[in-house]
């Protein structure tokens, strides 16, 4: 669809924003919204039941999940009360782009203090605010202004100094209504493709279970069939390094923004090679494991990400990854993650190495490995399609909330 532009434009006097429609205003977020208004009091009853939203519960645009618990069992970060119409913006691990609107169904849920809870004022329509904060330019600002390497963060007080391009409220509503319809259609397509990936996962897990759940199955301590890999990085101050991060539930890994050696912080780092199995030391308990491919050669991970590889002739690394994505494999990752305070449960790699795991004949492991490789090819195509759809969604949102296109008549 070809969109019209507005009749006339003016300079926003902000380089990254460029020109905006003549009748729009440029306003800092702090003048049209409030932040972190409601917090649980120190006198909250231990028996109070809450629905807790943590950083890992949120993806770009959506609250995907929550944890139901008593307040006495909640992490100390479970403090922010959210209301319908608020927008959650993650201020920690900002590379995850965890920004999402709070819907009516989430009213009075409790969010982590790792979020800035933005509450639109009378001059800011909540639907428009949702899209303005999900626009590429806003997300890029959050990421670029964050500090830290392994866990980049930004203060809420800095976040609300960012500017938005703002039409009058009636026009904001028209833009939001139009985007709601268009974004929903794109998201429906993404959902269908995601279900295909889930089906591939279910078939793979069933194949692993079929091979490993036999009376004749041989078990061995993990440490006897794998090597714990260490390839220390000797940092060069002005050389750029690309660190990796892992998604949860076996959803793969991502490349962080390159950093120079003197910007990497105090962590120890290790080189990654194609065919490594990387485990997130912080989030292994929720299935955060990944295999590396050729594109991860010469990338690095911090000491918080153990690297293992199967010993030749004993353990196929791809089979092991597939095993860890099953319920049984996930159980071992969970059992060896210490603590019970919310999501802060670091993996004890030493005790994990002592767990007895099923070791099928190498030929059977290779059968699973072939399934993993086939799935990977299929998922690459599916993920490419999903990324194109996400890019289309992002471009449409950004163009609409910066006035680059006029959707008033089609809304």
Q: What tokens does 269 get?
A: 């780092």
Specify the pLDDT at position 306. Answer: 98
Specify the pLDDT at position 343. Answer: 59
Q: Closest Cα partner for 303 from 263, 277, 270, 344?
A: 270
| pLDDT (tens digit per residue) in 190-199 | 999 999 999 9
Question: Are 71 and 49 a contacting pair, CB within 8 Å?
Answer: yes
**Quick check: pTM over 0.85?**
no
Residue 354: φ, ψ to 5°? -95, -5
Residues 6+ apart with CB under 8 A from 199: none
Q: What tokens does 209 get?
A: 């279970």
What is the rounded distance in angstroms from the CA atom of residue 308 to the CA atom of residue 231?
A: 11
| pLDDT (tens digit per residue) in 135-161 | 999 999 999 999 987 688 999 999 999
Specify the pLDDT at position 411. Answer: 58
Question: Are 110 and 40 a contacting pair, CB within 8 Å?
Answer: yes
Q: What tokens does 40 get?
A: 């649980």
Q: What domains can be seen in the chain, in order of their start residue?
A: 25-166 (3.90.220.20), 218-359 (3.90.220.20)
Using the Cα atoms of residue 172, residue 174, residue 180 and residue 183 in order, give the sign of their dihedral. negative
| pLDDT (tens digit per residue) in 388-405 | 999 999 999 999 999 999
Specify the pLDDT at position 107. Answer: 87
What is the rounded distance in angstroms from the CA atom of residue 238 to the CA atom of residue 144?
A: 19
Specify the pLDDT at position 345. Answer: 86
> Which residues of the chain fall short of a pLDDT of 50?
none
- The string over 368-396, giving b where at least 16 C-beta atoms fall within 10 Å of a residue's C-beta and e elsewhere, is bbebbeebeeebeeeeeebeebeeebbeb
């Amino acid at each position: 669809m070809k969109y019209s532009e507005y009749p006339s434009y003016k300079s926003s006097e902000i380089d990254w924003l460029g020109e905006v429609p003549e009748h729009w205003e440029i306003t800092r977020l702090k003048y049209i919204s409030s932040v972190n208004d409601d917090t649980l009091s120190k006198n909250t009853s231990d028996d109070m039941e809450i629905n807790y939203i943590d950083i890992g519960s949120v993806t770009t645009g959506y609250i995907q999940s929550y944890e139901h618990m008593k307040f006495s069992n909640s992490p100390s970060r479970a403090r922010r009360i959210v209301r319908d119409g608020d927008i959650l913006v993650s201020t920690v691990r900002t590379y995850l782009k965890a920004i999402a609107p709070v819907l009516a169904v989430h009213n009075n849920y409790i969010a982590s203090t790792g979020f800035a809870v933005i509450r639109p004022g009378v001059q800011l329509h909540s639907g428009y605010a949702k899209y303005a904060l999900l626009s590429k330019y806003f997300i890029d600002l959050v990421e670029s202004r964050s500090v830290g390497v392994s866990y980049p963060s930004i203060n809420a007080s800095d976040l609300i100094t960012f500017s938005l391009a703002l039409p009058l409220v009636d026009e904001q509503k028209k833009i939001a209504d139009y985007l709601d319809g268009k974004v929903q259609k794109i998201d429906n397509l993404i959902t269908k493709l995601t279900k295909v990936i889930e089906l591939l996962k279910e078939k793979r897990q069933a194949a692993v279970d079929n091979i490993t759940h036999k009376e004749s199955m041989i078990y061995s301590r993990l440490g006897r069939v794998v090597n714990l890999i260490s390839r220390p990085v000797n940092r060069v101050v002005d050389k750029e390094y690309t660190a990796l991060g892992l998604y949860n539930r076996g959803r793969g890994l991502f490349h962080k923004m390159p950093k120079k050696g003197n910007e990497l912080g105090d962590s120890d780092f290790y080189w990654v090679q194609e065919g490594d199995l990387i485990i997130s030391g912080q989030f292994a308990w929720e299935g955060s494991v990944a295999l590396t491919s050729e594109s991860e050669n010469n990338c690095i991970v911090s000491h918080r990400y153990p690297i293992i590889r199967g010993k030749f002739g004993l353990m196929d690394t791809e089979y092991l990854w597939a095993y860890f994505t099953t319920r049984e494999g996930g159980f071992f990752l969970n059992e060896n993650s210490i603590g019970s305070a919310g999501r802060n449960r670091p993996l004890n790699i030493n005790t994990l190495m002592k767990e007895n795991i099923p070791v099928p004949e190498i030929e059977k492991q290779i059968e699973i490995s072939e399934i993993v490789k086939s799935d990977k090819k299929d998922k690459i195509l599916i993920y490419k399609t999903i990324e194109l759809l996400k890019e289309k969604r992002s471009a449409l949102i950004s163009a609409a909330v910066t006035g680059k296109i006029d959707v008033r008549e089609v809304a």
